[in-house]
Structure 1
Amino acid sequence: MRGWWQRVLHLWRASLGFRVVVVTMLLGILVLTAVGTYLYGSIAQNLVDSRQRIAVEDSLRDAQNAQDQFDSTDQTDTEAKLTQFATTLINSYRRDAGNQTRYVVLTRSDDNTSPFNVRSIESGSVGLRFIPDELRRQVAAQPDRQHLQVATIDEGNDTISAVIVGQTVVLPVAGNYGLYFIYPMDREREIISSIGNTFLVGGFALIVLIGAIAFVVTRLVADPVRRAAAVAERFAEGNLNERMRAKGEDDLARLGNSFNGMAASIQQQIAQLENLSRVQQRFVSDVSHELRTPLTTIRMAGDLIHDSRGDFEPTVARSAELLRGELDRFESLLSDLLEISRFDAGAAVLEVEASDLRACVERAVDAHRTLAARKGTRLVVNTPAAPVVADMDSRRIERILRNLVSNAIEHGEGKPVEVTIGYNDTAVAVTVRDHGVGLRPGEAALVFTRFWRADPARARTTGGTGLGLAIALEDARLHAGRLEAWGARGEGSCFRLTLPRKAEATITSSPLPLSPLAAEAARAARAAAAGGEPGSAADDDTMRLRRITVERSP
């Protein structure tokens, strides 16, 4: 039952046509129920009213005739004669044929004090016991009027409603008697039942017809929408030549024409952007290569001047040092541009081999010890005791780590920088955490953009080009890995590199958390669960971290 309900719920959510048909049928049922109930009640009431009117007219005529018969009879000598006459007369008013069944009852009124007594006379099986006491009291109290009441009677094995009309007739010598005409409403009941069945069958057929009409109308609208959705999906997948069929001048045709116009415009703009991108990539590649030759010549002259700076005036010697530093930055920029152009051209190649990630981290950290000492930054490296082996291009991974450590030192404002290595069954990871100014909301998604800087006006001391993180991201993608950033103002920032253990494998989860706040909460939870102090829990971590500390220089 639950599975069936889930399937219906899924169909309700997934199918517009199903929703329209169901809603239309429910509204149709509601409207038909309201209208059918009203019509059924109105017809039934009209039938009852008609039956009552006919019964009143019919009984009044026969009651007057009976009174005339009693007034003119000479069978009043004895009770037996009068009773026999009354019985014959009452039975003559009974009707058993067709749909005009009628029973007649003659009974002594409650206020009759005459000693001459005629027993109660019944013309059939429906007799005195079915006449309500209230009606008899009304007839006795107002003998000059007709009185009517609808009551329930038993006719054979069936119970039906009947119209009972009573009025007073005066028997010679015997006094006031109540004459009651009972009209069973068999025919009316059959008519009402037939009308009810007709309403049910007709209503069901009408609901099915409404559902079929709603289904057809919905298909007329939903099918073009589905085709438009399929075209849009194929267009989004890169099939830019996909177009909708647009016929006629209706709303769907206008939708198709609008979509086709939008698709053509997007295709044209994408083509222009692709052409511009190719021109830009070719320009960057050509310029980078063309600048290599003059840069080499300038580098040789600059090195010669720098080596001879001791023979120059102090200002000239300082200029030689500045020239060499700027040449280094220029050469680094050209190298980055060439690397970016390789990524753009799809020419970057991995040289993968099984390597220990700890060695790459140690080389990257060692390369920045001098910079860290100059900035007053303490480097803390947390590595597992066991080897952390993964298939990687060590040169590219080390370049990623160098960039991350360099950025952490530069932005760390002299506070400690923490490098942590972790691993699980499917992946290895490195996080580089600083405690500097951090990132504003939304900047974590921008740090990998080419030439982006959090503060373009801030002077840089390490000579970055603005391409380091963009290249690092491409290197990570080449390994089918991830490079992610987290940051908060006043809390610092954290970069996480996650690589699969085996080349081209899928990373299911990273061994290390990206948010340091989440990591601290997890460590506190583990410490609380172990019942120890947070410090001892950290020292007894399952990774058995070995802390390599480069102390701050005095």
Structure 2
Amino acid sequence: MSPGALPPRGIPSGLRRALTFWRRSIQARVVASTLVLSAVVVSIVGWYLLQQTRQGLLDHRVAAVVAEANNETTEARNRLAAAPGTDIDAASQQRELVEPIIERGLTRGFDVVLAGPVGEGGRIADGGAESTPGLDLASVPTSLEAHFDRIAGTAWTYTRIRSTGNSGVETDTPGVVVGSQVTLRADGGTYTLYYLFPLDEERQTLALVTRALLTAAVLLLVLVAGMTWLVTRQVVTPIRMARQVAERLASGQLQERLRVAGEDDLARLATSFNQMASNLQRQIRQLEELSRVQRRFVSDVSHELRTPLTTVRMASDVLHDARHDFDPVTARAAELLQTELDRFETLLVDLLEISRFDAGAAVLDAEDVNLVDVAHRVVDMTRPLAEQRGVHVVVQAPSHPCLAEADVRRVERIVRNLVTNAIDHAESRGPEPEVVIQVAGDDHAAAVAVRDYGVGLAPGEAAMVFNRFWRADPARARTSGGTGLGLAISLEDTHLHGGWLQAWGRPGRGAQFRLTLPRRAGTPLRQSPLPLVPSDAEEVVS
């Protein structure tokens, strides 16, 4: 999941809160990362130390038990050398040889097995072996027995020592078995003595070292986590304070500032932040003052022009009514004067409407509006312009009403501006230019789309078309008498309804404007019943 992604809805609330905390807290991520890396390092070092300790203990123990076994074997050979070779049989000599070793083994903590002689039938499993009471003879590995199937020097290996004590309790412990050979004078045969030394002390020592290392590792990780938390807190706390101050600045509390303490990098950052905030506050106030002056200027000019405009309108009406009595040039001038006064009056109305939007004084008078009726009324209102341009306007709407809770005057003005703009830019794609108005709705939204097949929009112009006084082609005449504020006012009207007003276009393939309104005022929009890209557009999929 990425740092900016939200947790899925299906997970438990506790886990969701933990994921949210993890996503939002850089301090938690730094501490967790440090802990993971420290745990990996401590584990590697601890494993290496345990291996070295284990190997050292085993090496020391093996050296000690081999030396002790050699001493026992040397003493046994000395006793055999001193014994007469003909006064005793081989079995008695075996017992006299192994019994003192077994007794010493019981006091010193090792077991003994005597097997032989070397050759056919000399294995322990063949019977006749003398051993420490209770010892399982299978404790001697067969690999070591195979080594002594012939005369060989001292050898050792690891094994598992299994035995049964006097109380009947069976034990199974790791150990070392050392083998060496002696020769009996009674029969001249070579026998093998196996000494089995347990590794209980080494195992206990290794367990003690392991516990000590684990305890030290846990304490070290806790210490590292605490230190990391304190260190990151010194850095994260000023950042959090800066975030809080930035949020308050964004909410309009321009007087908020960071507290500066010290002369380090964070203090210099706080100083720079405060300087930036002061500059922004000064510039925002200047812009607000300029905007306020501009809005008041537009409003005052619009109101002040109404009186002289009324006077000029009265004079123009007189001249226009008497134009038939004038010469052709004067009559044409009277007609042009009337047309431009109409456009000037419309411009003043639009400027007053824009000033109301800028001042936040626009009010929505919502009621249930049938967008199908709105589309037909707009077609009737724009029919003279369409006939003048030779444009055929078609309405594609369902037979049932398509209702939305809206201000009918504003919605009608939006659709009228869109249709007028489409007629103004329509071009012929067949016998005559055509403008298509589509109306559709669903359970959550209602939409009106106006499609023309004119010059279209270049890439990037769909976002600019709603700017005030913007035109795709400045050299193109406004044959409909527009002021350049129609689409800007339409966008403000749409935002007042909580709706969408979007544009699509391709050069040479026309344009489509889509108005989407929620069924109920205040309900957020999620999708539109009509596509923004028309179905007859040849979209290039990259």
Normalising to structure 2: TM-score of the pair? Answer: 0.81
User: Cα–Cα, structure 1 residues 411 and 107, in superposed 2: closer, same or farther, change >3 Å?
Assistant: same
The alignment status of 1:131 with 2:175, answered yes or no, reads no
Aligned pair count reads: 511
Q: Which amino acid aligns with 2:336?
A: L
Decide which of 122, 130, 141 is 2:131's aligned counterpart: 122
Decide which of 194, 199, 218 is 1:185's aligned counterpart: 199
The alignment status of 1:506 with 2:515, answered yes or no, reads no
Alignment of 1:317-332 (within 5 A): 317-332=331-346
Partner of 2:534: 517
Assess if the C-alpha contact under 8 Å between 1:90 and 1:105 holds in 2.
Answer: no
Partner of 1:23: 33
Alignment of 1:33-432 (within 5 A): 33-74=43-84, 76-79=86-89, 82-83=93-94, 85-91=96-102, 94-97=104-107, 100-111=108-119, 120-126=129-135, 129-139=138-148, 141-143=150-152, 145-156=153-164, 157-175=170-188, 176-349=190-363, 357=371, 360-385=374-399, 393-414=407-428, 415-423=433-441, 428-432=446-450
Greater shift in the superposed pair: 1-10 or 426-435: 1-10
User: Cα–Cα, structure 1 residues 90 and 290, in superposed 2: closer, same or farther, change >3 Å?
Assistant: closer
Assess if the C-alpha contact under 8 Å between 1:499 and 1:507 holds in 2.
Answer: no
- For 2:158 and 2:534, the matched residues in 1 are separated by 84
Assess if the C-alpha contact under 8 Å between 1:428 and 1:511 holds in 2.
Answer: yes
Give the match's secondary structure for 1:445. coil
User: Cα–Cα, structure 1 residues 325 and 112, in superposed 2: closer, same or farther, change >3 Å?
Assistant: closer
Assess if the C-alpha contact under 8 Å between 1:147 and 1:165 holds in 2.
Answer: yes
Q: CA deviation at 1:311?
A: 4.5
Q: CA deviation at 1:372?
A: 0.9
Give the match's secondary structure for 2:196. strand
Q: Give CA-to-partner distance per residue, 1:424-448, whole Å, 9 cap, x none.
A: 5665543322222222233222222
Q: Which amino acid aligns with 2:131?
A: E
Q: Give CA-to-partner distance per residue, 1:106-153, whole Å, 9 cap, x none.
A: 44331499xxxxx7543444376543444345446445x322222222
Alignment of 1:455-494 (within 5 A): 455-494=473-512
Q: Which amino acid aligns with 2:158?
A: V
Greater shift in the superposed pair: 152-161 or 133-142: 133-142
Q: Which amino acid aligns with 2:427?
A: E
Instruction: Provide the aligned C-alpha RMSD in A.
Output: 3.5
Q: Give CA-to-partner distance per residue, 1:78-111, whole Å, 9 cap, x none.
A: 217645642454345x2334xx412334443314
Q: CA deviation at 1:274?
A: 0.9
User: Cα–Cα, structure 1 residues 217 and 495, in superposed 2: closer, same or farther, change >3 Å?
Assistant: same
User: Cα–Cα, structure 1 residues 309 and 44, in superposed 2: closer, same or farther, change >3 Å?
Assistant: same
Q: CA deviation at 1:280?
A: 1.4
Unmatched segments (≥5 aa) in structure 1: 114-118, 522-554
Assess if the C-alpha contact under 8 Å between 1:380 and 1:417 holds in 2.
Answer: yes
Assess if the C-alpha contact under 8 Å between 1:500 and 1:506 holds in 2.
Answer: yes
Q: CA deviation at 1:450?
A: 0.9
Q: Which amino acid aligns with 2:424?
A: E
User: Cα–Cα, structure 1 residues 403 and 49, in superposed 2: closer, same or farther, change >3 Å?
Assistant: same
- Aligned-pair identity (%): 46
Q: Which amino acid aligns with 2:453?
A: H
Assess if the C-alpha contact under 8 Å between 2:95 and 2:130 holds in 1.
Answer: no
Partner of 2:6: none
Greater shift in the superposed pair: 132-141 or 326-335: 132-141
Assess if the C-alpha contact under 8 Å between 1:281 and 1:344 holds in 2.
Answer: yes
Q: CA deviation at 1:402?
A: 2.6
Assess if the C-alpha contact under 8 Å between 2:72 and 2:101 holds in 1.
Answer: no
- For 1:222 and 1:345, the matched residues in 2 are separated by 41
Q: CA deviation at 1:378?
A: 0.7
User: Cα–Cα, structure 1 residues 181 and 466, in superposed 2: closer, same or farther, change >3 Å?
Assistant: same
Q: Give CA-to-partner distance per residue, 1:14-40, whole Å, 9 cap, x none.
A: 443443343333333322322222221
Partner of 2:167: none
User: Cα–Cα, structure 1 residues 350 and 203, in superposed 2: closer, same or farther, change >3 Å?
Assistant: closer
Assess if the C-alpha contact under 8 Å between 2:447 and 2:530 holds in 1.
Answer: no
Q: CA deviation at 1:49?
A: 0.8
Q: CA deviation at 1:468?
A: 1.3
- For 1:454 and 1:164, the matched residues in 2 are separated by 98
